[in-house]
């Protein structure tokens, strides 16, 4: 009887792609993959360690499976991913029930590590150069009709608040041929939406080709038969060129959606973050984007309470949010991450102030989102069905203006059954907070 392995992957879509590679390797090596990790012999927790809340979620998940191990329901718990890479010895020391802590550079060795844990009964602490993390090769796609396509690993931007470069290493782009081969394989497997991800998608190719090649890559992806929607996440504002905007505007398969994590608008705060731009340049960028792509959906993320942020600088950010009226916005209060440059900056702001500023931004955004959604009533949009909500007794899905997991949904009724991954025209009838309610056109 083969060993049953379960996987819990936490954090971002890039981490999910790593987990899918691991699962493929395990299956090819003869392990049985079980969808419910609680029913496995061995559980791999693929952790996130980006900010404090993500670290706590990872620790809680590890402890949950260690409890199952103590009860004799599973045999071993293995930890990999960003938290493992970042805290190494501390995890085994603080949670001795864990059987192995594995760095991302050793993910390819997990099959052997599982055997060592089960057969030899040893605790394993295994690390290697993080740049050995495999970013090519096959994987088990764990999503339905859409899939994430990771085009690069690591980051070279060195934002002062971010630990990713120390966890994941410098940016390493995949070759365009490798990416396109994987995209064709996904299309043949029935994937109709590809979501392009990296720590900085707009920086793709700089290390390989001497200049960004994201526009060229997107054009090539659009030529692949079977793909209906192509979406990009994590686009840095300073690298959004006219060429990229022209490609998004002209290619029908590219959804009119841009995710631009600007983090702040005040020039001094951005400089302290080791980021470029200021209020004026960001306003000009957003104006240019909307002029070239009038129907664009813009998403951003912000940080409140960064060290040294004055009340005036925060008010500048709040006014910026009111004026720009982003379609989608996520705001996070600053989290001082160990080992980052920002952790040592003067002017650290207390938790209560950081949270209050975050709440003010999100309250304003809720008002803006409500108005923008109200304007959609009576319009017809194309929706991809994601399933049936038996409590609400209706179907639900997303439009091209919504990325999975992070944006809102469209709930709709219709006269027939719909399959997951089916694209349907839906007329919007009402608004429910960040979500929309509609009726399928027959």
Q: What is the pLDDT of residues 2-59, one digit of tens each?
A: 899 999 999 889 999 999 999 999 999 999 999 999 999 999 999 987 677 778 888 8
Q: How high is the pLDDT of residue 132?
A: 79
Q: How far apart are CA 416 and CA 367, in angstroms?
A: 35
Q: In the chain, which segments carry CATH 3.80.30.20?
A: 146-348
Helix 311-324 vs helix 351-374: crossing angle, to nearest 10 = 10
| Sheet with 229-232, edge to edge strand ranges | 146-150, 193-197, 229-232
Q: How far apart are CA 208 and CA 172, in angstroms?
A: 8
Residue ranges with strand state E in 72-228: 76-81, 100-102, 124-126, 146-150, 152-153, 172-173, 193-197
| The pair of three-digit structure tokens given for residue 6, joined into one six-digit string | 């379960």
What's the CATH fold of domain 4-132?
A: Rossmann fold (3.40.50)
What's the CATH fold of domain 380-440?
A: OB fold (Dihydrolipoamide Acetyltransferase, E2P) (2.40.50)
Q: How high is the pLDDT of residue 296?
A: 97
| Sign of CA pseudo-dihedral 399, 404, 405, 407 | negative
User: What average pLDDT does the segment 429-440 reach?
Assistant: 94
Q: How many CA atoms lie within 13 A of 323 on its CB side?
A: 14
Output phi, psi for 118, to 5 deg: -75, -40
Q: How high is the pLDDT of residue 153?
A: 94
User: What average pLDDT does the segment 100-129 reach?
Assistant: 89
What distances in angstroms separate CA 376 from CA 122, 287, 407, 426, 434, one per listed residue?
A: 59, 21, 16, 11, 12
- Residue 150: partners with Cβ closer than 8 Å, 6 or more residues away: 13, 14, 17, 135, 174, 197, 198
Q: How high is the pLDDT of residue 1?
A: 66
Q: In the chain, which segments carry CATH 2.40.50.140?
A: 380-440
Question: Please, what is the average pLDDT of the chain?
Answer: 93
What percentage of residues in the chain have a pLDDT greater than 70?
100
User: What average pLDDT does the segment 407-436 reach?
Assistant: 95
268 pLDDT tier (thresholds 50, 70, 90): very high
Q: How far apart are CA 331 and CA 320, in angstroms?
A: 13
277 pLDDT tier (thresholds 50, 70, 90): very high
Q: How high is the pLDDT of residue 137?
A: 84
For 70-102, what is each residue's pLDDT tens digit?
Answer: 999 999 999 999 888 888 888 888 888 999 999
Of 114-128, 237-251, 273-287, 386-400, which range is least confident? 114-128
Q: How high is the pLDDT of residue 430?
A: 96
Helix (H, G, I), strand (E, B) or coil at 307: coil
Assigned CATH for 146-348: 3.80.30.20
Residue whose structure tokens are 């056109």: 441
Q: How high is the pLDDT of residue 167?
A: 87
Q: How far apart are CA 292 and CA 294, in angstroms?
A: 6
| The pair of three-digit structure tokens given for residue 34, joined into one six-digit string | 């079980």
Does residue 263 come out as left (phi exceeding 0), alpha (psi in the -120 to 50 range) or beta? Answer: left
Q: Count the neighbouring beta carbons within 10 Å of the beta carbon of residue 109.
A: 17
Check if the beta carbon of residue 236 is closer than 8 Å to that of residue 202: yes
Give the residue from 190, 195, 197 showing the smallest Cα distance to 144: 190
Residue whose structure tokens are 């493929």: 24
| The pair of three-digit structure tokens given for residue 436, joined into one six-digit string | 């929309």
DSSP state string for 349-384? PPHHHHHHHHHHHHHHHHHHHHHHHHTTTT-EEEEE
Q: In the chain, which segments carry CATH 3.40.50.12160?
A: 4-132
Q: How far apart are CA 160 and CA 306, in angstroms?
A: 10
133 pLDDT tier (thresholds 50, 70, 90): confident
Question: Would you state the torsion angle of the CA atoms of residues 143, 145, 151, 155, taken in this order, to the nearest 10 degrees?
Answer: -40
The DSSP call for residue 263 is B
For the chain, the residue count is: 442
250 pLDDT tier (thresholds 50, 70, 90): very high
């Amino acid at each position: 009887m083969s060993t049953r392995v379960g996987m819990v992957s936490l954090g971002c879509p890039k981490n999910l792609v790593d987990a899918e590679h691991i699962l493929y390797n395990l299956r090819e090596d003869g392990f049985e993959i079980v969808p419910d990790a609680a029913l496995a012999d061995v559980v791999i927790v693929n952790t996130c360690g980006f900010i404090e809340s993500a670290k706590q979620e990872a620790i809680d998940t590890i402890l949950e499976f260690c409890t199952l191990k103590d009860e004799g329901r599973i045999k071993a718990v293995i930890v990999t991913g960003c938290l493992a890479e970042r805290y190494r010895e501390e995890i085994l020391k603080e949670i001795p029930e864990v059987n192995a802590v594995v760095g991302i550079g050793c993910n390819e060795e997990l099959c052997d590590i599982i055997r060592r844990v089960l057969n030899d009964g040893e605790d394993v602490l295994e690390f290697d150069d993080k740049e050995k993390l495999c970013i090519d090769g096959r994987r088990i796609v764990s999503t339905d009709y859409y899939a994430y396509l990771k085009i690069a690993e690591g980051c070279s931007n060195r934002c002062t608040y971010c630990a990713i470069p120390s966890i994941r290493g410098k940016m390493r782009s995949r070759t365009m041929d490798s990416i396109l081969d994987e995209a064709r394989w996904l299309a043949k497997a029935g994937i109709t939406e590809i979501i392009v991800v990296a720590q900085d998608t707009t920086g793709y190719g700089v290390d390989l080709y001497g200049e960004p090649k994201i526009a060229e890559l997107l054009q090539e992806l659009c030529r692949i038969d079977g793909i209906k929607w192509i979406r990009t996440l994590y686009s840095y504002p300073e690298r959004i060129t006219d060429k990229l905007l022209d490609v998004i505007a002209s290619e029908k398969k590219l959804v009119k959606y841009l995710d631009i994590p600007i983090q702040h608008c005040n020039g001094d705060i951005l400089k302290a973050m080791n980021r470029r731009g200021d209020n004026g340049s960001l306003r000009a960028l957003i104006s240019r984007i909307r002029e070239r792509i009038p129907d664009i959906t813009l998403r951003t993320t912000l940080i409140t309470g960064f060290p040294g942020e004055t009340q005036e600088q925060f008010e500048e950010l709040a006014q910026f949010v009111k004026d720009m009226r982003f379609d989608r916005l996520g705001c996070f209060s600053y989290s001082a991450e160990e080992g980052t440059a920002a952790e040592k900056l003067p002017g650290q702001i207390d938790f209560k102030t950081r949270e209050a500023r975050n709440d003010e931004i999100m309250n304003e955004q809720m008002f803006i989102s409500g108005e923008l959604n109200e304007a959609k009533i009576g319009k017809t949009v194309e929706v991809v069905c994601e399933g049936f909500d038996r409590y609400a007794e209706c179907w639900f899905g997303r439009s091209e203006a919504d990325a999975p997991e992070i944006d809102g949904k469209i709930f709709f009724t219709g006269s027939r059954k719909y399959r997951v991954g089916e694209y349907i025209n839906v007329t919007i009838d009402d608004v429910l907070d960040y979500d929309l309610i509609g009726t399928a056109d027959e």
